[in-house]
């Protein structure tokens, strides 16, 4: 199985490197990191594990140089997905499967509209991944992936992809409901990514330590859970408690949205906050905290004048 990685920031570089180290044929689309990665490879640092180097790396500046793939891991931010219209076609053959390793809602739907002839899988990432320098990625904890079929992917193929990740040392499971898995992940992303920016640059430890911010995070989680349950999606009763416990183990982790905002990059306002809010409104589920947070983040993003950048 030839695997292409489009969006080799923290997520794409991390999972692509682990798959390549385990023997998979992986090619990377590289932009700003191309020179550093070609010269020194990828360096992956994981909490509690020895740092490893992937070298050499099959990295290219253009997808035309990568050639057709069997599987494409898409790790571009949702803010940059329009670029996929030009980036993906050189990688596609009739049965190429697209895997959206992206946050928020609407990514699979967008891929389905633009590339209607290809099977699509959604991938939900649970990892504290940060690109610390060109060609260097740090995982401060976790790293699990959940895979779910959106359209056209057979269960046997899903399980084969999950097995490839497992062989690479990545905990990976296949979920029955991709939509439910997306909402479970939003129960963390919406509060912690959002409050980290709106709160003036808080890491997750600061959010938990501040009584009012912690209460806000819990309230946002409960709103997300209410929307999911109104859709009759499986959502564990103790999910908020479990997410809070996991977050306590992250230490001074800065969520990816905060990293992007501080670097002057556009943040994924619509995919992570806007689309869930619109779906809640259609269902008639009140989400006042989410509505307020969305308004603040949209204003901050507009004022930053950020332009989406590709890694």
Q: What percentage of the chain exceeds 70 in pLDDT?
A: 98
CATH 1.10.1040.10 residue spans of the chain: 180-304
Confidence of residue 198 (pLDDT cuts 50, 70, 90): very high
CA angle 22, 26, 31 (to 5 degrees): 130
CATH topology of domain 180-304: 1.10.1040
Sequence ranges of the chain with CATH classification 3.40.50.720: 2-175
Cis peptide before 220, with omega less than 30 degrees from 0?
Answer: no
Catalytic residues: 185
Residues 6 or more apart whose Cβ sits within 8 Å of residue 134 = 32, 33, 35, 36, 37
Of the candidate CATH numbers 3.40.50.300, 3.40.366.10, 2.30.110.10, 3.40.50.720, the domain formed by 2-175 belongs to 3.40.50.720
pTM for this structure?
A: 0.93
Residue 265 CA to residue 263 CA, distance in Å, equals 6
CA separation (Å) from 310 to 53, 100, 177? 23, 16, 30
* Pairing label, strands 2-6, 71-74: parallel
Count Cα neighbours of 299 within 13 Å in the Cβ-side half-sphere: 7
List pLDDT tens digits, range 43-68: 999 988 899 999 999 999 999 999 99
| pLDDT tens for each residue of 249-291 | 999 999 999 999 999 999 999 999 999 999 999 999 999 999 9
């Amino acid at each position: 199985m030839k695997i292409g990685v489009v969006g080799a920031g923290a997520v794409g570089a991390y999972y692509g490197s682990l798959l390549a180290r385990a023997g998979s044929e992986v090619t990377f689309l590289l932009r700003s990191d191309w020179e550093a990665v070609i010269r020194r490879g990828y360096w992956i640092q994981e909490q509690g594990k020895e740092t490893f180097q992937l070298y050499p790396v099959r990295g290219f500046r253009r997808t035309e140089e990568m050639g057709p793939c069997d599987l494409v891991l898409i790790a571009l931010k949702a803010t940059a997905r329009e670029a996929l219209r030009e980036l993906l076609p050189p990688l596609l053959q009739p049965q190429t499967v697209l895997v959206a390793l992206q946050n928020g809602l609407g990514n699979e739907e967008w891929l389905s509209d633009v590339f209607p002839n290809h099977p699509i899988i959604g991938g939900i990432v649970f990892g504290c991944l940060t690109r610390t320098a060109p060609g260097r990625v740090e995982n401060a904890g976790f790293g699990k992936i959940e895979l779910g079929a959106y359209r056209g992917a057979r269960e046997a193929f899903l399980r084969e992809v999950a097995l490839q990740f497992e062989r690479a040392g990545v905990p990976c499971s296949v979920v029955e409901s991709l939509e439910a898995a997306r909402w479970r992940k939003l129960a963390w992303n919406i509060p912690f990514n959002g409050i980290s920016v709106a709160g003036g640059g808080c890491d997750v430890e600061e959010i938990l330590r501040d009584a009012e911010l912690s209460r806000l995070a819990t309230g946002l989680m409960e709103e997300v859970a209410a929307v999911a349950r109104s859709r009759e999606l499986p959502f564990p009763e103790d999910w908020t408690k479990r997410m809070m416990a996991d977050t306590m183990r992250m230490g001074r982790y800065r969520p990816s949205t905060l990293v992007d905002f501080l670097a002057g990059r556009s943040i994924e306002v619509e995919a992570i906050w806007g689309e869930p809010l619109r779906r809640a409104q259609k269902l008639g589920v009140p989400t006042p905290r989410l509505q307020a947070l969305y308004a603040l983040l949209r204003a901050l993003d507009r004022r930053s004048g950020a332009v989406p950048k590709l890694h």
